[in-house]
Structure 1
C-alpha cells in the first residue's frame, strides 16, 4: 500500500488518504464461471488480503467498525479534574488503585438580617412544578435563604435586569455573593450601593461563568440598599434569562467541588455505571453531567429528559453514596423518597463526576465528604455492531469514505434500541403498543422516539448493515399505521400521543413502507397495511390538494402543520409535491406487488399529473431552479430541487440547471445549505441538514455528477468526522460549521446517515430492483476511487461486489445468491469500451455479442445474470 495526498480543490477540506493496491481485487483471471475475488468475501483474513494492507489494516473493513466489543464500555481517558482528586487515572483500570474525591464541609451561608426585602425590574410568571404545587420566580427568592428557589426576570434577553435588596437598617457590607441558576448565569453586572442619597458603583463584574460569584468591595461599605444591574447572561436553549437563586451579604469564595471528567472516545448510549468502594458516613452526593461535546461540557448536562419535562434533576443525575460503597447503575427515579433524582439512560461522549449535591436533596445527600471510586463504565443498549454481526459491509481505496460509511453505521446502531418507558422522549411519547419492541429512534441523546421521516434514511442504513434487525423499522411503520386517523392522516411518531401535526411525514410512511418491502421482501406487511395506504393516498392527501392537483399546505386546516424542520412554509411547496410524486409511485409499486392494478394505475397517473404541475407552476426559469414555495419571497430549497431530480420530475436539462444552482448558491465548507437565501429565517442559507443532503447526493450520482457527489460527501461528512465528538453524524450543522441548536443538537442522529446507502448503491453500485432482491443491478460509479468492494445482505444470502478502476481497465466481479437475477452496467463511454467475459467479447465498441448485452445512453449493460459468480474485464480504448 502507498499513500498519496490529494488536494482539497480549495474548499477547506483536509487532504485525504487514498489506499492503493496492486491487483487489489484479485481479478487477473476474469471468467463468468470464476468465483468472487477474495476482496469481496466477508472474513477479516480475506478482506486484509484483498487490500494488501500493512499491520494497521490487516483486518480490512473490520478496522473501521466503531461499536464496542461488549456491552460493558469503559472510558478511554481522563479529560480534566478539579478540586481535591487523588489518582484520577485509576478510573480507567478497574480492580486496582482507586480514585478519591474529597471536599470539606462548607461554612454556613451568611444571612441577611430579618426584614430584608427584594424587588426586581421584572419577574417571570410562575408555574406549577412536577409536584403540582405552584412555583414563583419573584425577587424575594433571592434573599429567602433557599438556594433552590430563584428570581427569574421576564425580559428574555432585553437588558438591563435590576434586582434591588433593601435592609431594615444600615449595615456594614464587605461585599456580596451572587448565587445563580446554572441556566441563567449573569455574565456581566454591576453592584451599586446607596450612599449619601445616591447610588454609587461598588463593583463591576464581566465575563462571569460561575454560579457562585464572590464580589468583594474595595472597602467595607455602610448601606441599607444594594442594587445588582445585569447587562448580560449566558444564553441557553430556552432563551436568555437572569436567574439569581441567592444574594449573600458577604463575599464567599466557593470551595472547589472535586470533579473528574472521563471521555468514552465517541458518543455512546446506555446506562452509566459507577463502582463506589467506600464513602464517608454523611451520605456524600455525586452529581453526573453528560455531554456529547467538550464545547457544552459544564456542570450541567447538555440535555436531560427530566429537564425537558420540568423534572427534579436540575440538569444532572444524583446519587448519595453509602459508607459501604455501591455498584450503582444510573436508572431513572429517586433514591430516597422525592430526593436524589437520576435520569437514567444517556447518550454522551463525556461524563463529569462531581462530589456535590443539590441543596434540596439534604439530608439524603450532602455536598461534602469523601468518595472512593473503583471504576466507571456504561451498559451499552444500542445494537452491538461488532464485525461478526455485519451482514453488509463496504471497503474502498479512500480511507475517508470508509470512515464515513462506518461512522454512519455506528450512528445508526446507537439509535437502534428497545422502546422503554423510562428512556423515551418525555413529551407524551410513551406508547404501550411500542413498549419492549426494537425501534429506530431519532437520536441517541434526543429525540428518543421513532419518527417515520428519519426512517427514510436510517432504515436504509439498517437494511444495508444489520438486516437481522429490520423489525426495528417494521415495528415503527406498523405501529404508526395502527394509529392512522379516521381521515387517513398517519402520525409522524408516538410523540404527543400520536397527534403531532406534520404535513410531509405521512408521505414518508408510504415511501418507507416500500423501502421495507423492497429490501426485505415482506409481502405480508404490504398486504396487511394496503388499506392504510389507500386511505392516506386517496383520502388524506386529496383533502389538501388544490385545483391544479398540487398539495397546498393550509387547505383543510393544515396551516399550522409542521414538517421535518417545522418550517413556516405554506401553499404550493415543491418539496411536499416532489415527495408526493415519490409516495404515489412507491404506493403504485406496492399495489402492483399485490395485484392491485387499479390502485397502481390511479396513483401512477396522479403522480404524472403532479409532476407536470410542478414543472408548470413551480419552475423558476430566471434562477434555473424550482421555487421553494409559490407563496411569499422567492427562494429555492435543497429538499424540493433534489427530490425533483431523484423522482424524475426534472428532465435532464432542468436537473442539470437545478443542481448547478444549488452548487452556486448553497455550497459551504461543511456541506450544502438547505436554502439559498435567508427569507425563510435568519441564517437559513448557512444551515446544513444531512437529511436533505442525502437526496441531493443521490441526485448528483443519478445524473452522472460523481465528482460533485463525492465532493459534497467529503465536505459534509468530513466536517462532522473531524469535529468533536467525531465519528457520529449530527442532526444539523449551523453557521460556520457550528452545532445548529447549540447544546440541544443531537450529535448522533439516524437521519444523517445517508452517506452509507449513497456509497453502497451508487459508488459501489449495487441495489435491489424488486422486493427481496429477487432482481438486482450493479452499476458502479467510481469517480476518483481506485477500487471498492462490499456485500449487501438479502433474504437469499449475500450479494457481493468488487471492482478495480485503472487508467485503461475496469475489472468487476459479482457473486449473486440463489433465487435472484440481475444486471451489470459498466462505467465509461460505450464507444470506447471493449467488454469481455473470459475469452468471449461481449461488446467491441460497436456491436453486442447477444441480446442480453445492450447499450443505452452510452452505457453497456449485461442483463439476465443468474446466481453465482460473474466477472467482467472492460478495456478503455483511446
Structure 2
C-alpha cells in the first residue's frame, strides 16, 4: 500500500514523441483527420481461461502425492531472465527479433540528426489563466510551472494549470510584432496531454479561430491552420486532457511557431512474459561515434507503456530520470547493467532496479543530457536480459505446496506465491521507496516489500497477508517478516504507537497498523515458534495495547479515530473515516486475542486475562453500537453517511464478534450489495468517495473469503476466489495479483497501481488453511488442525512446512465418500475435523469404525460443530474415510 501522490509532489516530465491519434480541424477549411500510426501494441496477453464452474477431476484421479504441482511454479529458472517475445517496434529498426536469441546477430536502431526546433522571436511572452504553485524536486531544487516555460525553448520545463479537472484552461502567447503563422506545435507530456483544445490567432484587433483539435493523445501535436495568418498572438484554450493518476491538469512544455510532425522514434518493445524484478542488462555491440542515447521505459502492463515508464522512483522523488532510464552508448559498445546514478557528471540518469513485464528501448535522449547523449545516430544491440533480484522460487526451493482438481485454483495459488516472491527482496538504499523510506537499520536485510515496482518499502499491514503466504511456501525465508516487525518495534513512539513502515522516517500516521503489528507478531510466532521474538517485544506489545489504545478509546470502550490527536490519521486505504469504525474495532478484538495468546506462551497470565476480557467488552460494544439491524450488517462508521464496509463485516465474522445470525446476515448483505464480475467491492455505496462501491481490494477480500469458508459457505467462497483472482489471472499482466481493482475491472490507480502486490495474495493461505484445511493452532505447529472445506473440489493435496518437518494432507471427495490422509511430523499433535458428517454417515480408519452415525468408538472421536472430529493425532500417516449414506 502507499499514499496517493498529489500534484505538489509531481516531478517534471520530458515530452515524448510516441505517435498516436488526434483530429485537427482547421478553421475555414475542410476537416482534416491527421493521424500517425503508433506502435503496434497487441491486446491483453493470452492466458488460460479460469474455469468458473465445478472443478474437473483429471484422468485417473489425483496424481501421486507430491507430484504435478511443480508445473505451476512461476519463477524463472535462473537469475538471468530473458524476454520471451518482441512485442512491437517503431521507426528504423533492423532485425528486432534477434534480441530474443543471444548470438543470433545484432538489432540495429538508426535515426537521422533532427532539425532544430523552431523558436519564437525575442521578446515573446506567455500568460495563463492559472498557474500551479512551485515546489521543490526530490533533490531540493526549486521548480516553477508558470506560462513562460511554454516559450523558453527548454522542453524539460512546463506550464501547469492550477484548476485540476476544471476547464477551460488558457495559455496566451504574445509576440513583439506580427508574424506569419501557418500553424503551431503543442508539446506536452504524459501527465497532462491536452486532448481537446482550440487555437486562436490575434489579428485585425480580435481573436479568430485558427484550428480545433479533438481526441489528441500525442505529446507533440502539430496543428496546421486552414490558411496562413499574420498574427501577433496565439491563444490555446484547453477543454479536456487525458486523465492520469496525477489528475487532470493541462501541461504544456513548449509551443512552437510552426506545425512540426513528430519523427518516429526507433524503438523495440520486449515482453518478459510476466512481471519480473531486478536490474535490466543490455549488451551493445557498437554504436555511432556521436554518443547516441537510449531511453528505456518499463511497465507492468501494455496499457501504460508509452515513451515513459508506468512508474519510476526518480519520478516519485522529482529526480532526473523524467520517466525513463538513460544510457549513452560508446562507439565500441558496452555491457550496460542498469544501476542507479548518472553516467556523466549530472547527466544521463538511470533509476536502476525495476519491476515490470514490458521493456521499451528507444534511440533517444533528454535535451538536458546533451552533449553527453544525443537523440540520433545508430546503436547495435546483441541481447537484453534481467538480473533477477528477488526470492527465486524454483520447485527445489518450495517447502510448502498445494494442488487440487481445479486447474484455475492451482494457478491462483502459485500466482500468489510468485507475487510474494517478487516482493521478498533485500532492503537497499538504491531501490527502496524514495519518500524518506531508507533506513540504516534495515539496509542489507531481507524484507517483504509491498511490490516489486512500488512501494518498495515494507508495510506491516501488508504482512497480515504476505507473511502468511511466505510461511506457507518458503518458511526458511521467515526472517524477512521478522526483520520488518522487529524494526518497526524498535521505532515505537513513546505513546505506544508503532509506525506502519519506514516511509517518511517512520512517521506516516496510520490508525490501524499498530494493531496489525500485534496480530502479525502473533502470526510470526505461530508459524515459526520463535519464542525469543515474543519475549523480546512483549514490552512493545504492552505499550500498543495498554498505552496507545486507551488514549484513543471512547466512553463506550471503542476505538475512536480523532481522539488522541488522530483526526488526520489514515488507514490502509487512506479513507476519511472518523470516530467509531467497525473495522478498527474488530481488528482491535483480533489484536487483543492474539496478544493474549502471546502472553500465555510467555507465562504472563495477568496480561492474557486482561486483554482477553477487554476483547470481549469491545466485541460486545461493537454489537451494541455498530450493528445496523435494518441492513443486517455492521456500519462502516457510527458517524456520517450510512454505509457498510467489507473490511469491518468480514473481520467481525472471522474474529467471532458476529454471532451465527449476524455472520450469515452480514455476508448476505455483502453478496447482495458489493458483487462485481471481478470480486466483491470493499464498500456498499459511494458515500466515502466516488467509485468505492466498484473498487475491489484483494487485501480486504481475503477475510471475507475466509469468513465464507468458516461459516460453511464454501461455494460462495470459491465463487469469490474465481471472480477476483480469475479476473487478474486473465488480464494483463497475468499471473500476479494487483494492489487494487477499480471500476470495470481496471487497475484502480491507473499506471500508479502495483500489479504485483503482496497484500493481495490471500488466496494462497485461504486455499491451504480453509480448502485443504490444514493450519497451526499453537506456536511452531506444536498443535495443528485439519478441517477441510471441499465444496465442489474433487481432490486436494498439500504440504505445510513446520519447524518439526512437513505436515502433509491429501483428500478425495465424492458424492458417497470423503477420504483424507494426514502425515504429521514428530513432536506435534493435531485434530482432524471431517466434513459433512451426521446421523447418516460413518467414519472409518481402515476396517475400524470410529463413528457409527451416533457415537464414537473412543473418547478422542466426538461431534463438534456438526463435524466428527478425531483428536490427539500424533506423528505418522493415518487415513480416514467418511462414508455418506445414499
Q: Distance in 2 between matches of 1:96 and 1:546?
A: 71
Q: What pairs up with 1:294-333 in 2 under 5 angstroms?
A: 294-333=302-341
Matched, 1:366 2:374: yes
Instruction: Note the alpha carbon deviations across 1:415-447, whole angstroms, 9 max, x for none.
Output: 000000111111111000000000000111111
Q: What is the CA-CA distance between 1:328 and the residue it aligns to?
A: 0.6
The aligned counterpart of 1:199 is 207
Q: What pairs up with 1:794-833 in 2 under 5 angstroms?
A: 794-833=802-841
Alpha carbons 2:837, 2:882 under 8 Å: kept: no
Q: What pairs up with 1:609-628 in 2 under 5 angstroms?
A: 609-628=617-636
Alpha carbons 1:13, 1:669 under 8 Å: kept: no
Q: Distance in 1 between matches of 2:137 and 2:867?
A: 67
Q: Distance in 1 between matches of 2:214 and 2:861?
A: 75
Q: Distance in 2 between matches of 1:558 and 1:721?
A: 39
Q: What is the CA-CA distance between 1:19 and the residue it aligns to?
A: 3.9
Q: Distance in 1 between matches of 2:141 and 2:299?
A: 31
Alpha carbons 1:39, 1:802 under 8 Å: kept: no
Q: What pairs up with 1:439-454 in 2 under 5 angstroms?
A: 439-454=447-462
1:227 to 222, 235, 250: 235
The aligned counterpart of 2:756 is 748
Alpha carbons 1:16, 1:399 under 8 Å: kept: no
Matched, 1:24 2:49: no
The aligned counterpart of 1:176 is 184
Instruction: Note the alpha carbon deviations across 1:640-664, whole angstroms, 9 max, x for none.
Output: 1111111111111111111111111
The aligned counterpart of 1:762 is 770
Q: What is the CA-CA distance between 1:362 and the residue it aligns to?
A: 0.4
2:740 to 728, 732, 735: 732
Q: What is the CA-CA distance between 1:820 and the residue it aligns to?
A: 0.8
Alpha carbons 2:149, 2:253 under 8 Å: kept: yes
Change (3 A) 1:130 1:509: closer
Unmatched 5+ residue regions in structure 1?
Answer: 1-11, 26-37, 42-46, 48-59
Q: What pairs up with 1:206-285 in 2 under 5 angstroms?
A: 206-285=214-293
Q: What is the CA-CA distance between 1:198 and the residue it aligns to?
A: 2.0
Instruction: Note the alpha carbon deviations across 1:329-358, whole angstroms, 9 max, x for none.
Output: 111111111111111111111111111001
Q: What pairs up with 1:40-79 in 2 under 5 angstroms?
A: 40-41=65-66, 47=67, 60-79=68-87
Q: Distance in 2 between matches of 1:620 and 1:406?
A: 39
Q: Distance in 2 between matches of 1:88 and 1:243?
A: 34
Instruction: Note the alpha carbon deviations across 1:382-426, whole angstroms, 9 max, x for none.
Output: 100000000000000000100000000000000000000111111
Q: Matched residue of 2:839: which SS?
A: helix
Alpha carbons 1:175, 1:215 under 8 Å: kept: yes
Q: Distance in 2 between matches of 1:666 and 1:76?
A: 38
Alpha carbons 1:16, 1:398 under 8 Å: kept: no
The aligned counterpart of 2:198 is 190
Q: Distance in 2 between matches of 1:238 and 1:431?
A: 28
Alpha carbons 1:40, 1:791 under 8 Å: kept: no
2:155 to 123, 128, 147: 147
Q: What is the CA-CA distance between 1:39 and the residue it aligns to?
A: 2.9
- The range that moved more, 650-659 or 825-834, is 825-834
Alpha carbons 1:764, 1:781 under 8 Å: kept: yes
The aligned counterpart of 2:41 is none
Alpha carbons 1:831, 1:858 under 8 Å: kept: no
Q: Distance in 2 between matches of 1:178 and 1:252?
A: 9
Q: What is the CA-CA distance between 1:857 and the residue it aligns to?
A: 2.6
Q: What is the CA-CA distance between 1:15 and the residue it aligns to?
A: 4.2
1:553 to 532, 545, 561: 561
Q: Matched residue of 2:588: which SS?
A: helix
The aligned counterpart of 1:638 is 646
The aligned counterpart of 2:64 is 39
> What's the TM-score once normalised by structure 2's chain length?
0.93
Instruction: Note the alpha carbon deviations across 1:675-694, whole angstroms, 9 max, x for none.
Output: 11111111111111000000
Matched, 1:865 2:873: yes
Instruction: Note the alpha carbon deviations across 1:65-84, whole angstroms, 9 max, x for none.
Output: 00000011111111111111
Q: Distance in 1 between matches of 2:483 and 2:143?
A: 41
Q: Distance in 2 between matches of 1:612 and 1:648?
A: 11
Instruction: Note the alpha carbon deviations across 1:556-592, whole angstroms, 9 max, x for none.
Output: 1111111111111111111111000000000000000
Q: What is the CA-CA distance between 1:17 and the residue it aligns to?
A: 8.2
Q: Distance in 2 between matches of 1:731 and 1:374?
A: 35
Q: Distance in 2 between matches of 1:24 and 1:279?
A: 59
Alpha carbons 2:50, 2:729 under 8 Å: kept: no
Matched, 1:104 2:112: yes
Matched, 1:842 2:850: yes
Q: How many residues align?
A: 838
Q: What is the CA-CA distance between 1:16 and the residue it aligns to?
A: 5.4
1:290 to 293, 298, 301: 298
> What's the TM-score once normalised by structure 1's chain length?
0.94
Q: Matched residue of 1:40: which SS?
A: coil
Alpha carbons 1:24, 1:39 under 8 Å: kept: no
Q: Matched residue of 1:123: which SS?
A: coil
The aligned counterpart of 2:20 is none
Q: Distance in 1 between matches of 2:538 and 2:802?
A: 24
Alpha carbons 1:307, 1:315 under 8 Å: kept: yes
Q: Distance in 2 between matches of 1:427 and 1:104?
A: 40
The aligned counterpart of 1:581 is 589
2:171 to 163, 168, 187: 163
Matched, 1:603 2:629: no
Q: What is the CA-CA distance between 1:236 and the residue it aligns to?
A: 2.2
The aligned counterpart of 2:728 is 720
Change (3 A) 1:132 1:640: closer
1:511 to 506, 519, 539: 519
Alpha carbons 2:196, 2:241 under 8 Å: kept: yes
Q: Matched residue of 1:457: which SS?
A: helix
Alpha carbons 1:40, 1:800 under 8 Å: kept: no
Alpha carbons 1:339, 1:360 under 8 Å: kept: yes
The aligned counterpart of 1:89 is 97
The aligned counterpart of 1:28 is none
Q: Distance in 1 between matches of 2:838 and 2:53?
A: 31
The aligned counterpart of 2:510 is 502
1:692 to 692, 697, 700: 700
Q: Matched residue of 2:422: which SS?
A: helix
Q: Matched residue of 1:566: which SS?
A: coil
| Structural RMSD (CA) | 1.3
Alpha carbons 2:797, 2:811 under 8 Å: kept: yes
The aligned counterpart of 1:629 is 637
Q: What is the CA-CA distance between 1:858 and the residue it aligns to?
A: 2.2
Q: What is the CA-CA distance between 1:132 and the residue it aligns to?
A: 4.2
Q: Distance in 2 between matches of 1:851 and 1:23?
A: 38
1:677 to 664, 685, 689: 685
Q: What pairs up with 1:431-442 in 2 under 5 angstroms?
A: 431-442=439-450
Instruction: Note the alpha carbon deviations across 1:431-479, whole angstroms, 9 max, x for none.
Output: 0000000000011111110000000000000000000100000000000
Q: Distance in 2 between matches of 1:511 and 1:562?
A: 19
Q: Matched residue of 2:392: which SS?
A: coil
The aligned counterpart of 1:400 is 408
Q: Distance in 2 between matches of 1:146 and 1:274?
A: 30
Instruction: Note the alpha carbon deviations across 1:707-746, whole angstroms, 9 max, x for none.
Output: 1110111111111111111110011111111111111111
Change (3 A) 1:134 1:650: closer
Q: Distance in 2 between matches of 1:306 and 1:354?
A: 19
Unmatched 5+ residue regions in structure 2?
Answer: 1-48
The aligned counterpart of 1:457 is 465
Matched, 1:123 2:131: yes
Q: Distance in 1 between matches of 2:349 and 2:876?
A: 59
Instruction: Note the alpha carbon deviations across 1:177-209, whole angstroms, 9 max, x for none.
Output: 122123222111111112322222122111111
Alpha carbons 2:139, 2:318 under 8 Å: kept: no
Q: What pairs up with 1:500-539 in 2 under 5 angstroms?
A: 500-539=508-547
